[in-house]
Amino acid sequence: MDYDQNLYLTFLEKMYLIRRFEQKVYEFAERGLVFGSTHLEVGEEATAVGTLLNIKRSDYMIATHRGHGQELLKGTDVNAMMAEMIGKATGICGGRVGSMHVTDASVNNLGAQGIIGASFPISVGVGLALNLLGQKDKILISFFGDGATNQGNFYESLNMADIWKVPVFFVCVNNLYGMGTAYCSTCNIEIYKKATFFNIKSDYCDGNDVAAVYNKSKEIIDYVRTKRLPALLELKTYRTIGHSAFDKHPYRTKEEIEDWKKKDPIKRTEDILLKNGTPKEKIDKLKKRIDTTVDDAAAFAAQSPYPVYDDSLEQ
């Protein structure tokens, strides 16, 4: 693919949005305003951006517990996202469920599960429904982590995806760990290979190279969309922060973390832009704009009221 400045500026804008958004979430968490735990994806932003820039608003999505980027990229309003993070009534789910469980029907985001592995069978069901509807265009993009692929559900659902031929794009964000457990200590098989067992088109790429993710996804999404068949893409990446906001991640070495920080997808993209002649001022301006968007969202969230209990919630 030829170098396209505008595309790289979009990569940068979107990844920077996620980074800034999560920095704000972290600040809120430090101030004790985030209920429960929140899972940030610092270092992994290229995975959401590279894939979802190829996905239409009318496509469906199932995100993960580490899904802020996925949810923002699918198109959810930044203000409503931010308000949800701190449990405000103006949040996209009325503030009921917070960071881990964002659903946004207006952009066909079907909801993230706090139960690792639960999304696989549901994804098959969504694919089945698309088939039954005779859909020739819409697909589902279904995200999950490396750790999730050890749940029996994963394999079972891949088999179902194969025999029912569902138009589902399975995207594994492989950040090498599930909490404190290295994937390689839990399974001897590379993740993308697991799908090939089930005759499902499967591939992998550097998840910190946003252009690579973008190009690979474009190709696979095209396959899923036109062939109406499942496919899987494994994105190798790394979270340079802890599993949840205040996890000190002692299970990883400093060196490993520092190594990966050097591969930061945002930094890499900026470098490419600069190298290709984009003026630094242009980049600064773009960032400034995002900063304002996020600051405004934070202000909006902070000023919003908490939800009020009402008896109609009883079931």
Partner 1 sequence: MREITYSEALREAIRSAMAKDDKVIMIGEEIGQGYAGVFGVSKGLYDEFGPKRIIDTPIAENSIMGAAIGASLLGFKPIVEVMFADFIAVCFDGILNQAAKVRFMSNGQYSLNLVVRLPGGEGSGTGPHHSQCLESLFMAIPGLKIANPSNPYDAKGLMSSAIYANDPVLFFEHKKLYKTKGDVPQEDYAIPFGKAGIARAGKDITIVAHSYMVSVALAAADELYEKHNIDAEVIDPKTLVPLDMQTIAESVKKTSRLAVVEETYLRAGVGSEIGSIVSERYMDWLDCPIKKIASRNVPIPMPASLVGEVIPDKKRVVKEIREMF
Which residues bind to its own copies, rule: CB under 8 A? 150-157, 159, 162-163, 185-189, 194, 197-199
Q: How far apart are CA 82 and CA 85, in angstroms?
A: 5
Burial of 120 (0-12, 13-18, 19+ CB in 10 A): buried
**CA angle (215, 217, 223) in 5-degree steps:** 110
Residue with the shortest CB distance to Mg ion:
145
Count the helices and strands in the chain (H runs, E runs).
Answer: 11, 7
Q: How far apart are CA 242 and CA 255, in angstroms?
A: 15
In the chain the first and final C-alpha atoms are separated, in Å, by 54
- Residue 199 contact among ligand TPP, its own copies, Mg ion, none, beta carbon within 5 to 8 Å by kind: its own copies
Largest Cα–Cα separation, the chain: 60
Part in contact with ligand TPP (CB under 6 A); list of ranges 50-58, 101-109, 111-119, 124-132: 111-119
Q: How far apart are CA 116 and CA 95, in angstroms?
A: 22
CB nearer to partner 1: pick between 180 and 279: 180
Q: How many CB atoms lie within 10 A of CB 285?
A: 10
Per DSSP, the three-state class of 238 is: coil
- Mark residue 166 as left, alpha or beta (left: phi above 0; alpha: psi -120 to 50; beta: remaining): beta
The answer to the question of residue 41 lying near Mg ion (CB under 5 A) is no
The answer to the question of residue 67 lying near Mg ion (CB under 5 A) is no
CB nearer to its own copies: pick between 37 and 196: 196
Among 115, 163, 274, 299, interactor with ligand TPP by CB under 6 A: 115
Site string for partner 1, 262-291 (x = CB under 8 A): ------------------------------
The answer to the question of residue 91 lying near ligand TPP (CB under 6 A) is no
- Residue 255 contact among its own copies, partner 1, Mg ion, none, beta carbon within 5 to 8 Å by kind: none
**CA angle (22, 85, 170) in 5-degree steps:** 70
Per DSSP, the three-state class of 307 is: coil
Shortest distance, position 181 Cβ to ligand TPP, whole Å: 8
The answer to the question of residue 172 lying near partner 1 (CB under 8 A) is no
Burial of 155 (0-12, 13-18, 19+ CB in 10 A): middle
Q: How far apart are CA 187 and CA 185, in angstroms?
A: 6
Among 179, 212, 286, 302, interactor with ligand TPP by CB under 6 A: 179
Q: How many residues lie near partner 1 (CB under 8 A)?
A: 66
The answer to the question of residue 75 lying near partner 1 (CB under 8 A) is no
Which residues within the stretch 95-134 sit at the binding site for partner 1 (CB under 8 A)? 95-98, 100-101, 103-105, 110-111, 113-118, 120-130, 132-133
Structure tokens at 294: 């996020």
- Is residue 226 within 8 Å of residue 136, measured between CB atoms? no
The answer to the question of residue 74 lying near ligand TPP (CB under 6 A) is no
Which residues within the stretch 185-224 sit at the binding site for partner 1 (CB under 8 A)? 185-187
User: Which run of H or E residues covers position 286?
Assistant: helix 280-303
- Residue 309 contact among partner 1, ligand TPP, Mg ion, none, beta carbon within 5 to 8 Å by kind: partner 1
Binding site for partner 1 (CB under 8 A): 34-37, 60, 87-88, 92-98, 100-101, 103-105, 110-111, 113-118, 120-130, 132-133, 147-148, 150-153, 156-157, 159-160, 163, 178-181, 185-187, 251, 306-309, 313-315
Residues binding ligand TPP (CB under 6 A): 39, 65-66, 114-117, 145-148, 173, 175, 177-179, 243
